[in-house]
Chains A and B, each alone.
Chain A
Amino acid sequence: MYRYDEFDQTLVDDRVEQFRGQVQRRLSGALTEEQFRPLRLMNGVYLQLHAYMLRVAIPYGVLSTRQLRKLAHIARRYDKGYGHFTTRQNIQYNWPKLYEVPDILAELAEVEMHAIQTSGNCIRNVTADQFAGVAADEIEDPRIYAEIIRQWSTLHPEFSFLPRKFKIALTAAPHDRAAIKTHDIGIGMVKNAEGETGFEIFVGGGLGRTPVVAKRVRGFLPKQHLLSYLEAILRVYNQLGQRNNIYKARIKILVNQVGIEAFTAMVEEEWQHLKDDALDLPADEIAYIKSYFAPPSYEKLEGEDASLAEKRLAEPAFARWLLTSLQPHKAPGYAIVTISLKPDGGIPGDATAEQMEAVADLADRYSFGEVRVAHEQNLVLTDVRQRDLHAVWQELRRHGLAAPNVGLLSDIIACPGLDYCSLANARSIPLAQQITRRFADLDRLHHIGKITLNISGCINACGHHHVGNIGILGVDKKGTEFYQVTLGGSADENTSLGEIVGPAFDEHHVVDAVETVVNTYLEIRKNGEDFITAYRRVGLAPFKETLYAAH
């Protein structure tokens, strides 16, 4: 993984002291809250319902075990013993004290971490495929370019006061695990007719109150032009994005207003001035960053490990966990293991300090000391030998981390909701907990199969409900929490937005509604097709009928 050199370290250390000064000026009254707000936001400090919240960047979801142990230490020392992994591969602490935040940042800087640009109207922490570098289906390692973008976007002098927040995601596999089409800029790595690798660029995706699937702005961009092209897009947006209405300020609104053809023309025109100049990425710079992502020294192993088959037969619980937790690894005899942070009745994405340390220990022992955060709010061990899977599973079980539900109904993505967030209309966490309890029966869960369920506590859509196969949106009706259900959303390479199924349900009926949707799907399912395939075949009607027929 990437390691800071003296320059990266200097910047982060400087930033800690700069923020310490800003906090001191706020506490002394030299800065008003209005003036301090964008400064703290650019350092990930939010003022929430009950306290300040600190969001720490985990660039493209990659963590060393040393970093993960530091996150555990911060949870214990400065918070209430846990942290919350987010849909943007970051971690949030819900109870830090403002005067301690500079100390937390100093501790993070010791392990090459920071909270720079995890909020505010700037270029946010860049995200990527959580299986980058090890996935069997990828063209190239997107972490190289994610790191290059991280550096370019950090404290960018021109783009730190954009009309609105700006999110960039990358993937290098045909199967999109980074939801690139729901981002302001989505970047996919592709090969052109000559066999060269470059970038396909999408722009103007986003969720929130106006969900939009990103549109293609360029089919193939040679690697050396990555930063000049991004700078061209950002410069057009910085000048023309709306600034008088925060609900119309994202780039998606600009792209929709001028049309993708006109927007593309403006970007290309701007790019003609920027290309082949100071932002050009020479091959040696790419090679330098790439050298940090050299694959670890894998043992030479034959295909599937024989002992695994034996243990699979002997222990059905282990077999079940294997079914949901593994992804194909590019090296024979290895597996990618996703660790579910969605236990029955748990809070999606939460991990205790002890659990973080347990995962760090496992990664050191079995996975070359590296951990990933998935945007589905789970953790990942990237390089586990198949013969070690049983030991890993046993250890995970000891720490309540072996829920065999990755990719299944109870692998819920949820925002913090009204329990923490000052924007929310409704609670998300208790609803997620109720759903996981209702669907706790593992036989049933596995029988239902692959499905995504996303919950947002308000229209800002932090739980990405628009792109859940089943989406649930908390709404406020005259002071009472209601939940609107959408169906048919998807966040992969076939991104689609869910359709509202009908009138919202109150908190006593929404779990029943989810169950009705699931039962309806099981009725109409043909040849083992998964939920989204069945939905695309039959549409909304049969679900509408079973949900509202009785009323």
Chain B
Amino acid sequence: MPLIKDGKIAQDPWIEAAPDAALPDVDALLVPYAVWHEHRETLMKRNGRLGVRLAADQPPQLIAGDLDRLDLVALEFPTFRDGRAYSYARLLRERYGYKKELRAVGNVLRDQFLFMHRCGFDAYAVADENLAAEWSRALAEISVVYQPSTDRRRPISSLRRRTPAGPGAAPAPKSGEIVSSWAY
């Protein structure tokens, strides 16, 4: 499946383990949460990079203690209408301090890119590689925001007051400009 990062199609080094097969010997191994839960000790001892994929009914509290060891967390959208992963993403970034790749997988569509980005996703597994060309357009469609969120864009209320929103606050992106995520 094509992967979009920073508005471009990116090489995907991650190999996903099949649920019931033997774990492949690869540098970057992504496992479903069930596998992580069962083989956690063994997996932790591996030398390569590790990622965990959470289904929509698996909240990030399940892996909160393991995040230091993870280089990828993939959150699943079984359908684009299921919005649980937006909350999970914000919890991972804002509460648990997770700073590595946060990937949206499943039914990931163009019109959700902006919301996903605002909630802290920085990688998007999509069905159609042409969506990469749409990514920056989708992000720039709404140029002002009302809410403080994970992307640290300054909400309108703080722009009105003309006071800094806090350390690290990012200005609104200009049209066409791609906001680099995880600058902090």
Q: Which residues of A contact B (CB under 8 A)?
A: 5, 7-8, 10-11, 14-15, 17-18, 21-22, 35, 38-39, 121, 151-152, 154-162, 235, 238-239, 243, 273, 278-279, 284-285, 288
Partner of A273, one of B95, B143, B144, B146: B95
Specify which chain B residues have a CB less than 8 angstroms from the CB of A243 in the assembled complex: 56, 82, 84
Answer yes or no: B129 CB below 8 A from chain A CBs. no
A21 CA to B59 CA, complexed, in Å = 34
Query: Closest CB of chain B to A278's CB: distance in Å?
Result: 4
A199 CA to B81 CA, complexed, in Å = 32
Residues of chain B from 62 to 99 with CB closer than 8 A to chain A in the complex: 80-84, 86-88, 90, 95
Given A235-B87, A238-B83, A239-B59, A160-B115 contact (CB < 8 Å): yes
- The reply to whether A7 and B159 contact each other, CB–CB distance below 8 Å, is yes
A452 CA to B143 CA, complexed, in Å = 46
A152 CA to B165 CA, complexed, in Å = 16
Specify which chain B residues have a CB less than 8 angstroms from the CB of A273 in the assembled complex: 95
- The reply to whether B146 and A161 contact each other, CB–CB distance below 8 Å, is no
- The reply to whether B114 and A7 contact each other, CB–CB distance below 8 Å, is no
A21 CA to B141 CA, complexed, in Å = 10
Specify which chain A residues have a CB less than 8 angstroms from the CB of B143 in the assembled complex: 10-11, 14
A160 CA to B62 CA, complexed, in Å = 24
Query: Closest CB of chain B to A6's CB: distance in Å?
Result: 9
Specify which chain A residues have a CB less than 8 angstroms from the CB of B142 in the assembled complex: 11, 14-15, 18, 155
A239 CA to B86 CA, complexed, in Å = 9
Nearest opposing residue in chain A for B153, CB measure: A157
Partner of A158, one of B59, B87, B95: B87
Given A161-B83, A239-B84, A8-B141 contact (CB < 8 Å): no
Specify which chain A residues have a CB less than 8 angstroms from the CB of B161 in the assembled complex: 284-285, 288
Specify which chain B residues have a CB less than 8 angstroms from the CB of A152 in the assembled complex: 146-147
Indicate with 1 or 0, residue by residue over B93-120, a CB within 8 angstroms of chain A CB atoms: 0010000000000000101101110110
Specify which chain B residues have a CB less than 8 angstroms from the CB of A155 in the assembled complex: 115, 142, 145-146
Given A35-B109, A158-B87, A279-B156 contact (CB < 8 Å): no
Query: Closest CB of chain B to A15's CB: distance in Å?
Result: 7
- The reply to whether A157 and B81 contact each other, CB–CB distance below 8 Å, is no
Can you identify 30 A-B contacts, CB atoms within 8 angstroms? Answer: A7-B144, A7-B156, A11-B146, A15-B142, A18-B141, A18-B142, A22-B111, A35-B111, A151-B146, A152-B147, A154-B146, A155-B115, A155-B142, A155-B145, A156-B147, A157-B116, A157-B118, A157-B145, A157-B147, A158-B149, A161-B82, A161-B86, A235-B87, A238-B83, A238-B87, A239-B59, A239-B87, A243-B56, A278-B148, A285-B157
Most B CB contacts (10 A, CB to CB) among A14, A17, A158, A238 go to A158
Given A35-B109, A157-B147, A160-B115, A8-B80 contact (CB < 8 Å): no
Query: Closest CB of chain A to B179's CB: distance in Å?
Result: 13
- The reply to whether B84 and A158 contact each other, CB–CB distance below 8 Å, is no
Query: Closest CB of chain B to A25's CB: distance in Å?
Result: 9
Specify which chain B residues have a CB less than 8 angstroms from the CB of A235 in the assembled complex: 87
Query: Closest CB of chain B to A8's CB: distance in Å?
Result: 7
Answer yes or no: B174 CB below 8 A from chain A CBs. no
Answer yes or no: B13 CB below 8 A from chain A CBs. no
Q: Which residues of B contact A (CB under 8 A)?
A: 56, 59, 80-84, 86-88, 90, 95, 109, 111-112, 114-116, 118-119, 141-149, 156-157, 159-161, 165-166
Nearest opposing residue in chain A for B119, CB measure: A157
Nearest opposing residue in chain A for B61, CB measure: A239
Nearest opposing residue in chain A for B150, CB measure: A157
Partner of A159, one of B56, B82, B83, B159: B83
- The reply to whether A39 and B86 contact each other, CB–CB distance below 8 Å, is no
Given A10-B143, A238-B84, A157-B157 contact (CB < 8 Å): no
Contacts A243-B56, A278-B166 given; 10 further ones with Cβ under 8 A?
A: A7-B159, A11-B143, A14-B143, A21-B141, A151-B157, A155-B145, A162-B83, A235-B87, A284-B161, A288-B160
Query: Closest CB of chain A to B3's CB: distance in Å?
Result: 21
A284 CA to B157 CA, complexed, in Å = 10
Specify which chain A residues have a CB less than 8 angstroms from the CB of B147 in the assembled complex: 152, 156-157
- The reply to whether A279 and B84 contact each other, CB–CB distance below 8 Å, is no
Specify which chain A residues have a CB less than 8 angstroms from the CB of B119 in the assembled complex: 157-158
Specify which chain B residues have a CB less than 8 angstroms from the CB of A151 in the assembled complex: 146, 156-157
Query: Closest CB of chain B to A241's CB: distance in Å?
Result: 9
- The reply to whether B81 and A161 contact each other, CB–CB distance below 8 Å, is yes
Partner of A121, one of B81, B116, B166: B81
Specify which chain B residues have a CB less than 8 angstroms from the CB of A154 in the assembled complex: 146
Nearest opposing residue in chain A for B88, CB measure: A239
Q: Which 7 A-B pairs have the closest CB atoms?
A: A161-B83, A157-B118, A278-B148, A7-B156, A157-B115, A18-B141, A158-B86
Nearest opposing residue in chain B for A284, CB measure: B161
Query: Closest CB of chain A to B158's CB: distance in Å?
Result: 9
Partner of B144, one of A14, A35, A121: A14
Nearest opposing residue in chain A for B148, CB measure: A278
A369 CA to B145 CA, complexed, in Å = 30
Nearest opposing residue in chain B for A36, CB measure: B111
- The reply to whether A158 and B80 contact each other, CB–CB distance below 8 Å, is no
A7 CA to B82 CA, complexed, in Å = 30
A392 CA to B43 CA, complexed, in Å = 79
